[in-house]
Amino acid sequence: MPSIASLRLIDFRSYAALDAAFEPSVVALYGPNGAGKTNLLEAVSLLAPGRGLRQAGVGSLARVEDGMSQPAWGINAQLHSLEGDIDDPTRISIGQVPEHPRKRQLKIDGRPATGPELARRLSLLWLTPAQDRLFSGAASDRRKFIDRYALAFAPDHGTNASRFEKARTERNRLLSENVSDRLWYEAIEADLSNYGARVAQARMTTVTNLQIEVSARKTAFPQSLIGLDGNLENRFADGADLTTVAEDYRAQLASTRSIDLRAGRTLIGPHRTELHVTHAEKAMPAALCSTGEQKALLIGLILAQARAVHDKEPILLLDEVAAHLDAVRRAALAEELLDLGLQIFMTGTDQSLFSDFGARAQFFHVADGALANLDGMEE
C-alpha cells in the first residue's frame, strides 16, 4: 500500500489552509504544545475508516473562527503510487460539505467511496497519549485496541464487528421489552453467532500473529505476553473451527435466553472479551507496571504489529512518544523505526527529541497553523 505524498488541509481544526509534501520515511513534527502537531496527525488518522485518533465527531473538526465553525472542511491526501504504469496517484478526500453538516464525506479520486474501499488503500497504526491508560482503563478500550489491529489481518473485521453489534442491540431490545417470540430470537441469534464467531476468530488470529512478532525480536522495549479471555476466543484457542464455534454460540444463546431475559441484555459473547497483556520478563500484569513501563510495552506492541502487517505498508502515527523515553530507549526506537522502512509521522515538543534520526528523517517545525520544512539535522 502506498504512503502519503502530500496533504492539503482546508479549514480543518487549527489549519485554515495547509499544503505539505512528505517523504515515504520518518516525518518528525516538532513545535510547542498547541501548535497543531496532533491536529496534523489526526488529519492523517482520518484517512482510515472511523473517527480518527481523537475519536472526534464530524461536527467538531471544522476550524472555528470568531466563535463560528466553518461550514465545510477538507483533508486531501495524494498517495505515493505503487502502480508505475499509470501516472496518476490516488487522491483521498475526507471532509464535510455545508449541505450535510452531520455527515462525513469520503471520496477516492473524486468519486464517493466507502470505508472498506478506503481501508484497501491505506493502512494506519497509531499510538497516542490517550492510550497511556489502556491497560488500567476500561475493557472496552482494550477490545477497541485489538479490534483496530485486527483490521489489518481481517479486512472484513470492521463490517463483522458492526453487524455483530447491530444484532446484539436488536436482541437486547427484545430482551428488555420482554418479547417472547422464539422465531424472532432465533433469526437474530443466527446473525449474532455468525458474526460473533468471526469477530472472535479475527481477534485470535491477531493476537497469535502479534505474539509471534513480539517473541521473534528482542528490542529495548519489554516483551509482552498477550492473551484473550472470552467465551468464543477460548474455543478457538482450544482448536475449534469457525463453524463449530458459531453453532455452539448459537445453541448457547438459545439456552441462556431466560437468564438474559432477567438481565435484560445479552450476557455471553465477544462483547465481554478481555485482552490481557503481561510484562513477560517481570511476569507482571501490564496494569500493575509503572507508567513508563506501560508506555514501553505499548511501543513494543505497535512495533510488533507494524512488523506483523509489514506487507501492507502501514503508516505509523506516534504522538508524543519520544518524550516519555530515556536516551537509550529513544535511540533504540529510532533504529527500530528506521529499520521498518515505513512512513512514520512523529510529534514532539523539541527537535532534540529526534536527534537520533540525524539526516534520516524529514523535519517540520509546526507553529501558528503552518509547517516549515527543515533539512535533516547534522549528525
Partner 1 sequence: MSKHSVSPEIDRLISLLAKLPGLGPRSARRAALALLKKPEALMKPLALAMGDAAENISTCSTCGNVDASNPCNICATPTRDNTTICVVQDVSDLWAMERAGAFRGQYHVLGGTLSALDGVRPEDLNIANLIRRAGEGRVAEVILAMNATVDGQTTAHYITDHLETTGVKVSRLAHGVPVGGELDYLDDGTITAAMKSRRPF
Q: How far is CA 324 from the centre of its chain?
A: 21
For residue 366 the three cell numbers come to 509546526
Q: Which residue has the cell 512523529?
A: 346
Tell the smallest beta-carbon distance from residue 156 to partner 1 (Å).
20
Among 38-46, 80-88, 136-144, 275-283, which window interacts with partner 1 (CB under 8 A)? Answer: 80-88
Among 4-12, 140-148, 278-286, 355-363, which window interacts with partner 1 (CB under 8 A)? Answer: 4-12
CA distances for 175 relative to 157, 166, 185, 259, 266, angstroms: 26, 14, 9, 10, 8
39 binds partner 1 (CB under 8 A): no
C-alpha radius of gyration, the chain, whole number: 22
Which residue in 169, 186, 184 sits closest to 269, CA to CA?
Answer: 169
Q: Which is nearer to partner 1, 77 or 304 (CB)?
A: 77
Q: Is 33 annotated as a binding residue?
A: yes
98 binds partner 1 (CB under 8 A): yes
Q: Which is nearer to partner 1, 72 or 284 (CB)?
A: 72
68 binds partner 1 (CB under 8 A): no
Query: What does DSSP assign to residue 364?
Result: E
Answer for the pair 227, 142: CB distance below 8 angstroms, yes or no. no
Q: Which is nearer to partner 1, 75 or 340 (CB)?
A: 75
- Cα(80)–Cα(89) distance, rounded to whole angstroms? 6
Query: What does DSSP assign to residue 217?
Result: -
74 binds partner 1 (CB under 8 A): yes
Q: Which helix (H) or strand (E) holds 215?
A: helix 182-216
Q: Give CA angle at 256 (253, 261), nearest 5°.
A: 105
Q: Which residues of 307-345 are buried (b: 16+ CB within 10 A; e: fewer)?
A: bbbeebbbbbbbbbbbebbeeebbebbbebbbebebbbb
Q: Which residue has the cell 473538526?
A: 61
Q: Is 38 annotated as a binding residue?
A: yes
Near partner 1 by CB under 8 A: residue from 82, 97, 288, 374: 97
What is the size of the binding site for partner 1 (CB under 8 A)?
24
Near partner 1 by CB under 8 A: residue from 88, 181, 368, 379: 88
Among 85-93, 147-155, 249-257, 277-285, which window interacts with partner 1 (CB under 8 A)? Answer: 85-93
- Cα(270)–Cα(301) distance, rounded to whole angstroms? 22
Q: Is 57 annotated as a binding residue?
A: no
Tell the smallest beta-carbon distance from residue 112 to partner 1 (Å).
11
Q: How far is CA 252 from the centre of its chain?
A: 32
Q: Which is nearer to partner 1, 72 or 261 (CB)?
A: 72
Q: Is 35 annotated as a binding residue?
A: yes
Q: Which is nearer to partner 1, 85 or 378 (CB)?
A: 85
Tell the smallest beta-carbon distance from residue 99 to partner 1 (Å).
5
Q: Is 227 annotated as a binding residue?
A: no
Beta bridge partners of 28: 346, 363
- Cα(32)–Cα(11) distance, rounded to whole angstroms? 21
Find the length of the chain. 379
Which 99-128 residues touch partner 1, going by CB under 8 A? 99, 105, 107, 109-110
Q: Is 32 annotated as a binding residue?
A: yes
84 binds partner 1 (CB under 8 A): no
Q: Is 169 annotated as a binding residue?
A: no
Q: Tell me if residue 14 falls in helix, strand or coil.
A: coil
Tell the smallest beta-carbon distance from residue 43 to partner 1 (Å).
12
Q: Which is nearer to partner 1, 114 or 290 (CB)?
A: 114
96 binds partner 1 (CB under 8 A): yes
Among 5-13, 184-192, 194-202, 274-282, which window interacts with partner 1 (CB under 8 A)? Answer: 5-13
For residue 365 the three cell numbers come to 517545525
- Cα(276)–Cα(225) distance, rounded to whole angstroms? 8
85 binds partner 1 (CB under 8 A): yes
Tell the smallest beta-carbon distance from residue 364 to partner 1 (Å).
19
Which 11-30 residues touch partner 1, going by CB under 8 A? 11, 17
Which residue in 146, 87, 94, 145 sits closest to 118, CA to CA?
Answer: 94
Q: Is 59 annotated as a binding residue?
A: no
Query: For binding to partner 1 (CB under 8 A), which residues are involved?
Result: 8, 10-11, 17, 70, 72-74, 76, 83, 85-86, 88, 93-99, 105, 107, 109-110
Binding site feature residues for ATP: 31-38
Binding site, by residue number, is 31-38
